[in-house]
Amino acid sequence: MKKICLAILAMAVLLPALNVHAQSALSGKITETEGDSPVYMAAIYIPDLQRGCLSDSTGHYSLTKIPNGTYKVQYSYLGYQTEIRSIVFDGSTREMNVEMQPSVVETHEIVVTAGYASHQDENPIKVDQLSSRELQRAGGSNLAASLTKTPGISSVSTGSGIGKPVIRGLSGNRVVVFSQGIRIENQQWGDEHGLGISDDGVEKVEIIKGPASLLYGPDAMGGVINIMDEKPAEIHTVKGDFSTKLSSATMGHQTGVGLKGSGDVFRFNVRGSYANHADYRMGDGVKVTDSRFNERGVKASVGMHKGIMASDLHYTLVNTHLGLPEEIGDQSNSRTPMLPYQTVTTHILSSVNTLYLEKTRIKCNVGYLANDRREFEDGTTPGLHMNLHTLTWDGRLYMNPKQDKYELIVGLQGMSQTNHNSGEEWLIPDAATNDVGVLGLGKWNFDHANIQAGLRFDNRNIRTMHMSDGDPPGGLVNNNYRSANGSIGISWHPGEVWVLRTNLATGFRAPNLAELTSDGVHEGTNRYEVGNRNLMSEQNLQWDASVHLHGKHVTFDLAGFYNHINHYIYIQPTAMWDTANAVYIFQYVQSNANLFGGEFMVDIHPHPFDWLHIENALQLVSGERSDKEALPLIPAPEIRSSLVCNLKALGKLKEPYVSFEVVNTLEQSHVNRLLETTSPGYSLFNVSLGASFKAGKQTLDVDIGVDNLTDKTYIPHLSRLKSEGIFNPGRNFRVAVKIPFAIKRA
């Protein structure tokens, strides 16, 4: 393992020295379909290369120093349909003139999370997207909350500061989160351990709902959330932005500033952010004591693209201080967390490298992540203090022998991880986790269909270490978990506006340290948790099917799934009582389980009122064990209905919009009787408006909204504060402002 890691690290360092000039160029003109007028400031971008430019006032553009090969090129401009072209570069200058037509619906960009940079319709696996603009309009107090705008995505929340994504009823170690090209490891087994990543500087988020173990390894049996940083600046430009978000419910703000630039060879990006929130106010006017939190973040990256080599080095620091609300008490505007609280500091360092050959591409990503978690219960010394250090590596060979007719990926991935305790007590022991996986994925592209299939094999070893104050009950653990997985899927295009998909995939998850070795009270759960070293790996098989229509005046998606999980791991109470801590003892056990459900979304924009959007979305998931007992933490059925008016420019106001939304959450009565109670339904009303406008020569993007307009008191089924009778935030006025600026233009 060490030799492999050293070899990949050497590759990451030495490959940038390569300088082979097999290059092409791309030029052309961007015009409107109606009137043949040039499109000024249209964005031309090649995702595989992370290189782009803007069209000039005459609509012309030029992009040079493109390595030979076949690439998807994306042409986009706000208010117009995104155009995607597959272009073969052979050392010459290719000319590509593109006509862009106005679009009344937002058209998403090329997606990369399914393995290949491709148009959404070409993927047998549906990939949902949320752009940075959509994230800003969502107005969530954390990134996980903003993601719930996507049907099928929910969040386990602890107040307004902690959110954990749930994909079709699965969360924690059953969902893999990627950022900066590597998987994020941050003790995600805890329900009160949040996502830990800010949305500042995020270009978009791509989400796969369903097993994605083939490309993303163990634990991706529920899905993948790929948080993608903003694109590099266009060639020969230096630009930046300042943004701030204000929230009345928490009397809080999130502020960020960034600067980035690109030359012919080198590029850079640097950002800083700060968020500060007081205790949030419920619908009855009472504040939730110790729901306050603050967060500091720094992002930086440097990169180069020369000849056939591209290399980027990324660094992120996130430091959060999070109160853990337990009851309604002190009513204040203090920003300093009270006891109990947690501090989490995460360092993420990654090196992303690509070697471009004419029909082959070699990618090598190496990442290091340090996660320091401290939980304070009754003093200045942390009760729990866990240091998690993770080294990941991911090498892939992309082959395109027949210019998009057939594509193949083979890869080797691995992880080496250590957990170390230094607090007054421990919940999980010191341990080392190592895994390695090998994969192969092929894609066949036909005129009206795309087929994708692949296989993967993984081996994971979990080994606990001697503790100075005693080993876990039952002694040390040294377990190996192995699994072979596969997937096969097809997308079929019976007409220009129709896409039909079906996919069958398996996934795999080894028990985590908490499930195997827990032995103590976990702050924030009010229970004594005991692990089970005899647990077996979870193995699932999921079938997905979906229908998509993208018509001129209506868009809809209908998706359904069935997910069978062998050896599903869960925690349940025992009859034993821990006298010292005055809590019940819970133990991890397992059983087979089934989840099924789906999502439906429709957007109607009737002619001639193309500016009017009538949108409805439904999500439904049900989960139960083989004994018909409900699985815990299954989201309640939800219906979102909205009326959106995307108006024409009004004077200095560009792209103005007004949105009215009703969120109907139905009763959740199918619950685990030992862990949960039923949750009543409720309705929330939200309104928002916004526009871009110029103040002098400066452009501003402004969004204003009111969430929970009627000041409703309600508790979501997935709120961890439900057992304490603590409501979610009441009426919340929010304002988001983003000010882009340019220092150097092309």
Res. 425 pLDDT band, cuts 50 70 90:
confident
Res. 8 pLDDT band, cuts 50 70 90:
very low
φ and ψ of 606, to 5 deg: -70, 140
Q: What is the pLDDT of residues 33-77, one digit of tens each?
A: 877 889 998 999 998 898 999 999 999 999 998 998 888 899 998
Structure tokens at 719: 């709120």
Structure tokens at 155: 């969040």
Res. 122 pLDDT band, cuts 50 70 90:
confident
17, pLDDT greater than 60:
no
Q: Rounded distance, CA 462 to CA 475, Å?
A: 14
User: What pLDDT, on the 0 to 100 scale, is given for residue 524?
Assistant: 62
604, pLDDT greater than 50:
yes
511, pLDDT greater than 90:
yes
How does the average pLDDT of the chain come out, rounded?
90
Strands 528-530 and 638-646: unpaired
Contact 703, 738 (CB under 8 A): no
Residue with the larger pLDDT of the pair 3 and 153: 153
Structure tokens at 474: 């039952």
156, pLDDT greater than 70:
yes
Nearest residue to 394 via CA among 4, 99, 2? 4
CA distances from 491 to 444, 487, 550, 559, 660 (A): 11, 14, 15, 13, 34
Sheet order of strands, 127-131 included: 127-131, 202-209, 223-229, 175-179, 182-183
21, pLDDT greater than 60:
no
Longest dimension (CA), the chain: 80
- The residues, any chain, with a CB within 8 Å of residue 446's CB and separated by 6 or more, are none
Over residues 341-367, mean pLDDT: 94
Q: What is the pLDDT of residues 185-225, one digit of tens each?
A: 999 988 889 888 989 999 999 999 988 878 888 899 999 99
Question: In the chain, what percentage of residues exceed pLDDT 70?
Answer: 95
Q: What is the pLDDT of residues 637-658, one digit of tens each?
A: 999 999 999 988 888 888 899 9
Determine which of 406-415, 519-528, 658-667, 716-725 has the lowest per-residue pLDDT on average: 519-528
Res. 473 pLDDT band, cuts 50 70 90:
low
Beta-strand ranges (E) seen in 359-430 are: 360-376, 384-399, 406-421
Nearest residue to 158 via CA among 341, 374, 388, 344? 341
Percent of the chain as helix, strand, coil, to the nearest 5? 5, 60, 35
Contact 740, 240 (CB under 8 A): yes
- The residues, any chain, with a CB within 8 Å of residue 42's CB and separated by 6 or more, are 30, 54, 55, 59, 61, 75, 76, 77, 80, 100
Residue 670, burial from CB neighbour count under 10 angstroms (0-12, 13-18, 19+)? middle
Question: In the chain, what percentage of residues exceed pLDDT 90?
Answer: 69
User: What pLDDT, on the 0 to 100 scale, is given for residue 107?
Assistant: 63
User: What pLDDT, on the 0 to 100 scale, is given for residue 664?
Assistant: 98
**How is residue 338 annotated by DSSP?**
P
Determine which of 305-319, 414-428, 518-532, 595-609 has the lowest per-residue pLDDT on average: 518-532
Contact 317, 301 (CB under 8 A): no
Contact 685, 662 (CB under 8 A): yes
Contact 435, 217 (CB under 8 A): yes
Q: Rounded distance, CA 371 to CA 359, Å?
A: 39
525, pLDDT greater than 60:
yes
pTM: 0.92
Q: Rounded distance, CA 353 to CA 473, Å?
A: 44
Contact 322, 344 (CB under 8 A): yes
User: What pLDDT, on the 0 to 100 scale, is given for residue 285?
Assistant: 95
Structure tokens at 308: 């056939």
User: What pLDDT, on the 0 to 100 scale, is given for residue 108?
Assistant: 64
Nearest residue to 75 via CA among 111, 99, 103? 99
Contact 702, 694 (CB under 8 A): no
Over residues 505-518, mean pLDDT: 93
Q: Rounded distance, CA 223 to CA 561, Å?
A: 13
Q: Rounded distance, CA 734 to CA 170, Å?
A: 30
Element (H, E) at 601: strand 583-604
Q: Rounded distance, CA 631 to CA 539, Å?
A: 16
Q: What is the pLDDT of residues 361-419, one digit of tens each?
A: 999 999 999 999 999 988 788 988 999 999 999 999 999 877 678 899 999 999 999 99
User: What pLDDT, on the 0 to 100 scale, is given for residue 7?
Assistant: 47
For the chain, which domains are there? 2-103 (2.60.40.1120), 127-744 (2.40.170.20)
SS3 label, residue 105 = coil
Dump the DSSP string for 226-286: EEEEPPPPPTTEEEEEEEEEEETTTTEEEEEEEEEEE-SSEEEEEEEEEEEE-PPBBTTS-
